[in-house]
A and B are shown apart, each in its own frame.
Chain A
Amino acid sequence: EPEVTQTPSHQVTQMGQEVILRCVPISNHLYFYWYRQILGQKVEFLVSFYNNEISEKSEIFDDQFSVERPDGSNFTLKIRSTKLEDSAMYFCASRAQGVTCFFGQGTRLTVV
């Protein structure tokens, strides 16, 4: 069964460093998302991406964040200069024309 794949599963980085979280969405999907879940809190929307551009972003998604679909398969989230409060589980999700989103296993980002 097709699935969304995220790498790495766990990333530890020093404050101020850049990180790139990688996702391979399901192959025929067209809409891509990043969500995050700070420990003990709800899953919250960061950004959506369609047709090679951002379709919506949340207040969290400031200038430190960027997304890219560099080729036909990968979808990345870059955090330019990480802060302690960026520590969270980051989920990639994708969907086809329907409404249902499929999520990856997540990347746990720890900023120290």
Chain B
Amino acid sequence: AQSVTQPDIHITVSEGASLELRCNYSYGATPYLFWYVQSPGQGLQLLLKYFSGDTLVQGIKGFEAEFKRSQSSFNLRKPSVHWSDAAEYFCAVVSNFGNEKLTFGTGTRLTIIP
């Protein structure tokens, strides 16, 4: 069965520092990968996605992610975080083509300190 692992439950970074959130997936074929963000009291907002092609994808709010097939990873990065980036971040993979249901990781909670 497909699965997504986000090894970091909680990360704290200083405002202005760089950020990398890890995501590993288990999937037999080429995956469709997503990062969603959930701000406090909000729904799930799509940050970026990878289907094929260039393995470095750009998203909204200055985020990017890199797909590495050899490592089964799709890590999310941002060069300089802002206080408004404090949120929960979910990595997800499409696990059933035809139905396109999403399998989510457990999420990483990001705290920003001044």
Contacts and interface: CB of A to CB of B under 8 A. Distances in A.
Interface of A: 4, 6, 31, 33, 35, 41-45, 48, 55-56, 91, 93, 95, 99-106
A38 to B, nearest CB: 12
| Chain A facing B: main interface SS | strand
A96 to B, nearest CB: 11
Contacts of B51: 99
Given A93-B44, A100-B49, 12 more contacts: A4-B43, A42-B90, A43-B104, A44-B104, A45-B102, A48-B100, A56-B99, A91-B43, A99-B94, A101-B100, A103-B46, A106-B43
A95 B100 CA distance: 9
| Chain B facing A: main interface SS | strand
Interface of B: 32, 34, 36, 42-46, 49, 51, 90, 92, 94, 96, 99-107
Contacts of A103: 36, 43-46
Given A91-B44, A99-B32, A42 B105 contact: yes
Nearest to A106: B43
Nearest to A55: B99
Contacts of A35: 102
28 contacts: A4-B43, A33-B101, A35-B102, A41-B106, A42-B104, A42-B105, A43-B102, A43-B104, A43-B107, A45-B101, A45-B103, A48-B101, A55-B99, A56-B96, A99-B32, A99-B94, A100-B46, A101-B100, A101-B102, A102-B46, A103-B43, A103-B44, A103-B45, A103-B46, A105-B42, A106-B42, A106-B43, A106-B44
